[in-house]
Every structure is written in structure tokens, then in C-alpha cells.
A and B are shown apart, each in its own frame.
Chain A
């Protein structure tokens, strides 16, 4: 069971939307790098951010639709219709399951990118992980929950937390080695997104846990955006400094 405060309706969808936009921006930069460099790690990061952003965007749109529909049907005293394609699944089911699946694929691509660089996964570990995911998909669906996605939510967030913790640790290790501000922002953002997944597991305790988790998610993606803006700012300052000399290079 996930407790979502009514006053928070719409805010979470907006946070997903902002996060998706930042993800698309990063995906664009890694695609640019990959097109110049043809490095596999850049391809994994490009695809990872793209897939994650598509999932977040789908979630944002479906949440917004659900909230508008929910608020509308309560005001008009009519039944809420959240099923758009059939009477079995609500729009939330489609969007959440798509988001769960796409996020796991994206995090898996991040892990491959980092494992390519630093460690080699044993085949046994990979097989165990795939078996774990299949077990969740096969044996953990629908109990008495009202929506299908509810029953998968806890398992998804636990899995996502484990996967992102690995990526966060890699980035923290890299930051402690380099002590660069931009690396700190990246390590911090992955840690914040991991905490978002961790808090989601405990979202049945209080609505504030859900709210706090989403604040962490937003902080995580805003940190990534800050890193991009910081890089841009430094480059522009350097360009400005060299600007006076520019004319002599072009004849």
C-alpha cells in the first residue's frame, strides 16, 4: 500500500516530468559523444538515460491524467474511469509497469557501463539476477490490491535501489579519487535517486515518506542539471576569456 497525500497530487507528476527532461538532455549529450567517439560506455549511458526518461515521461503523463480524472469524478459524483483500453488494466497499470520495466533496463545499462570500466561480472551473478527478476514477475503479482502496479511496486523499488546503489558506490569511489565538483554532483545525484527508491519501499508508513522520496528524486535530477550548467558556465567563461584573441585565429 502506498500512501499519497491528496495535496501532493500533480506535484509528483511534475517532478517526473522535470526529471525526464533532464534525462533527455543527458541522453542527448551522451549520444553526441557516442557519435563522435563510438565508445560503448557512452552508448550505454545514452540509451540508459533515454529509456529512463521515456519511462518517467509516461509516468508523468499517466499520473496527470489519473489526477485530473480523479478530481473530476469526485467533484461530479461520477465513477472514476481510469481504464482507457480495456476494463482490466487502468492507465496507471500500463504506465507504471512500463516505467518499472524501462527503469530496470536503464539501470542495467548503467551497471554494464560501469562494470565494463571497473569490474567484470561473473556469468553466475548475471544469471542469478535475471532469475531473481523472473521470480518477481512470475510469483509476486496481484494479491488483494486494487491496482496491478501496486503489487509490483515494492519489488521494483527494492531491485532499483540495489542496482542504483552499485552505480552510486562506483561514482562515490570515483569522486574520492578525483575530488572534482562535477563528479561530486553526479555521485550525489545517483545517491539521491537511490534514496528515492528506498523510501518508496516504506511509503506505506506515511504520506510524508512518499513526499520526501520524490523530493530526493527531484534533487537528484536537479544535481545532474546543475552539473551540466556548471560545465557550460565554466566553458563560456573560458571562451569569453579567450574571446579577445579569437579574431587573430581567423583570417
Chain B
């Protein structure tokens, strides 16, 4: 049975996608790799940027989202919290 992803899982998916892509990624690739819609992705990116986990970077032609050191630390913490929640029988999916 497929259940809806929680916010934690979506933050994890977005940060992992950016990290796996070498640390920065365009919004269209985030949408694709984190399995989100264009409408929904902005609210998650806004949260991650407001917390300092992602940074916006523009090279004149394209806008990229870059993961920060704080973002990498948050990703580690989220992984830990996810494991703890899973252990109690509350998977974050």
C-alpha cells in the first residue's frame, strides 16, 4: 500500500537530490528527482532556504539551488530522526 509522504520525507528527498547531484541543482531537476510538482516544490524550497539549508545561485542564465553546510548537517539529523521514528513503528513515508 502506498501512503503519502510526510514533510520530513520530502525535505529529505529534496536535500538528497541536491546533494547527490554534486551539491547544486536546477528547480526542474529537483521537481523530477524529488518526485514533486512545480506547484508544490516552491513551498518546500522556501522553507529550506529560510532555514539556511539551501541557497539560491544564479549564473545569469539559470537559477540553481545549492546545499549549504547547515543543510548537510540538517540532512544528517533528519536521517537520524527518521531512523528513530522508524524504530518506534512510525515510518516517515
Contacts and interface: CB of A to CB of B under 8 A. Distances in A.
Nearest to B74: A36
Interface stretch (A81-89, A177-185, A198-206): A177-185
B19 to A, nearest CB: 6
Contacts of B92: 37
Contacts of A117: 89-90
A130 interface: no
Max count, chain B CB within 10 A of own CB: residue among A32, A33, A228, A246: A33
Contacts, number: 82
Max count, chain A CB within 10 A of own CB: residue among B24, B68, B86, B90: B90
Nearest to B87: A182
A147 interface: no
Max count, chain B CB within 10 A of own CB: residue among A113, A239, A249, A251: A249
B38 interface: no
B59 to A, nearest CB: 12
Question: Looking at chain A, what size class is its interface with the partner chain?
Answer: 35 or more
A235 B90 contact: no
Given A114-B89, A249-B22, A232 B72 contact: no
B7 interface: yes
B86 A228 contact: no
Contacts of A185: 87
Max count, chain A CB within 10 A of own CB: residue among B19, B78, B87: B87
Interface of A: 26, 29-30, 32-33, 36-39, 41-42, 45, 113-114, 117, 170-171, 174, 178, 180, 182-183, 185-186, 227-228, 231-232, 234-235, 238-239, 246, 248-251
